[in-house]
Structure 1
Amino acid sequence: MFTGIVECMGRVVEFARLDTTTAGGNGASLTIAEAGSVLGDCHLGDSIAINGTCLTVTEFTADSFKVGLAPETLRRTNLGTLQPGDRVNLERALAAGHRFGGHFVQGHVDCTADIAEILPDENSIRYKLRVADPALMPYIIPKGFIAIDGTSLTVCDVDDDERWFTIMMIAYTQDHVVMPSKAVGDKVNIEVDMLGKYVEKVTTSILRGAADAGESGTTSYIEKIVARVLQKEA
């Protein structure tokens, strides 16, 4: 679990499509340097989010670390496009007892989005992003949470039909995350707020159960809630 509060920006040293070393596991791997501030308490097998993607540390030094990349990770994220020298957002998994500054971020990227517009707004920057998977639009709501390359941000405007949303990035955030170095057309990783997914799952299951019982799902569910409230007040 992560919070979307980026701890530092690392730099890509190597992206290997086939890493035959023990740490590479005969698959794709990514090595990140300038990461000393997130490695002081690191152990093999720990989770570190790279651009919002939860990954397992397979090798590390005082300043750098390596992670393996599964095919699913390469399909879902922008990590496969990284080149040596690129900056990436880094965040360690949340430790118990620490202040929770962002929102619940799993590090499970849903899809990518293309940067459609970058508009300066006084000392802030407004970004317009177009989501690759339209099925995710119901989970993106005005003033709701969203993680972009692992950065916890607040949604401003949403257009479901045209599949875009906007966010505003304040000056402080601009100095501490990778997004301001990107251009129109670049891809960013998107993770929608998982709480919306849980609400949909529970509600759908309840309504489906009512329908299977031969009841009008929505009407029956509302009637039961009203009856329960009236019973408590009686």
Structure 2
Amino acid sequence: MFTGLVETIGTVLEYTELDTTSSGGNGVSAIIGDCASILVDVHLGDSISTNGVCLTVTEFDEAKTQFKVGIAPETLRRSNLGDLKTGSKVNLERAVTSEVRLGGHVVQGHVDTIASITKRVPDGNAITFTFQLRDKDYIHYIVEKGFIAVDGTSLTVTNVNYETFEFSIMMVSYTQSKVTLPTKDIDGSVNIEVDLTGKLIEKQIELNLNSQIENKDSALNKLITSLIEKKINEVLGK
């Protein structure tokens, strides 16, 4: 679990596509450096959010200045990590510990989809960014003033357009200097993780409704039966 508060910006030092005969399958292997500040307590198997994607540390150098990860095909399909190349900058955050203050919001590092930057408008020393989702259904989990993770950065939604599948955030000047988003141009892609709360509520409602529909004696079925009988009686003039 992460907070969406980016700790540092790392640099992709190596980015290698793997063939199907390698131990990593046909995914990608990446070495990320310029991040000694977050590797002081690193262990093999640790999770590090990389542009919002939870990745597992498989190797690190003796000086603890760089680490290696494997990126699976499913992750490449869901995220923009397939666009990385040597020299790319990435947002990095270690998994939280019990001592960490939750200054952002609960971020799993399980990217839902990607979005494209459609607008970036200066507003004083802040910047308003607008994004359009690739997978449109996820717009239903985005609400004004709700949380969202963009490339692993915890941000507040300032506007949502459900017809164009777009949403906006405002980034203050301090945050601009700590993350990669301000370096991206119009049409640039970002990883999106919607707030988990909305998905949990939706699933609970779905399961509850299905359970009530399957139970003929449930309150929902009794209500539906009552409404149908009332409508039939109205049609028959009773």
- The two structures share one fold, judged by TM-score above 0.5: yes
1:162-219 CA distances to partner (integer Å, 9 max, x unpaired)?
1000000000000000000000001000000001111111111112211222356399
- Amino acid across the alignment from 2:106: F
Tell me the TM-score normalized by structure 2.
0.88
TM-score, with structure 1 as normaliser: 0.89
Partner of 1:66: 68
Structure-1 residue corresponding to 2:205: 203
Q: In structure 2, what is the equivalent of residue 54 of structure 1?
A: 54
- 1:39/1:135 CA distance change after superposition, 3 Å: same
Q: Which residue among 203, 211, 220 is the counterpart of 1:217?
A: 220
Q: Aligned residue pairs: how many?
A: 219
The AA in structure 2 aligned to 1:163 is: F
Q: Secondary structure at the match of 1:108?
A: coil
Equivalent positions of 1:6-85 (< 5 A) are: 6-18=6-18, 25-26=24-25, 27-61=27-61, 62-85=64-87
Match of 2:159 in 1: 157
* SS at structure 2 position matched to 1:147: strand
- Counterpart position of 2:112: 110
Task: Indicate the structure (1 or 2) with the bigger Cα radius of gyration.
Answer: 2
Contact 1:19 1:29 in 2 (8 A): no
Give the superposition deviation at 1:78: 0.6
Q: Where does residue 86 of structure 1 map in the other structure?
A: 88
Deviations 1:15-51 (A, max 9, x none): 111179x9x7354111111010110000111000000
Q: What is the rounded CA distance, in whole Å, between the counterparts of 1:143 and 1:188 in structure 2?
A: 20
Identity of aligned residues (%): 50
Runs of at least 5 residues in structure 1 that lack an aligned partner in the other structure: 221-234
In structure 2, stretches of 5+ residues that fail to align are: 224-238
The one-letter amino acid of 2:24's match is G
Partner SS state of residue 100, structure 1: coil
What's the Cα RMSD here?
Answer: 1.9
- Give the counterpart letter for 2:7 in structure 1: E
Contact 2:215/2:221 (8 A) holds in 1? no
Deviation digits for residues 41-92 of structure 1 (CA, Å, limit 9, x no counterpart): 0011100000000000011121111100100010011111012111100000
Within 1, Cα distance between the matches of 2:221 and 2:99?
Answer: 41
1:137-152 equivalent positions in 2, closer than 5 A: 137-152=139-154
In structure 2, relative to structure 1, the CA distance for the partners of 1:60 and 1:190 (3 Å cut) is: same
> C-alpha distance in 2, partners of 1:206/1:136?
21
Structure 2 residue aligned with 1:178: 180
The separation in 1 between residues aligned to 2:19 and 2:109, in whole angstroms, is 23
Q: Deviations over 1:134-173 (max 9, x none)?
A: 1101100000000000000000110111100000000000
- Following TM superposition, the consecutive aligned residue runs of length 4 or more in structure 1 with deviations greater than 6 angstroms are none
Aligned to 1:88, what secondary structure does the other structure show?
strand
Deviation of 1:97 (Å): 2.1
Q: Which residue of 1 aligns with 2:229?
A: none
SS in 1 for 2:18: strand
Distance (whole Å) between structure 2 residues aligned to residue 192 and residue 218 of structure 1: 33
| 1:66 aligned partner, one-letter code | K
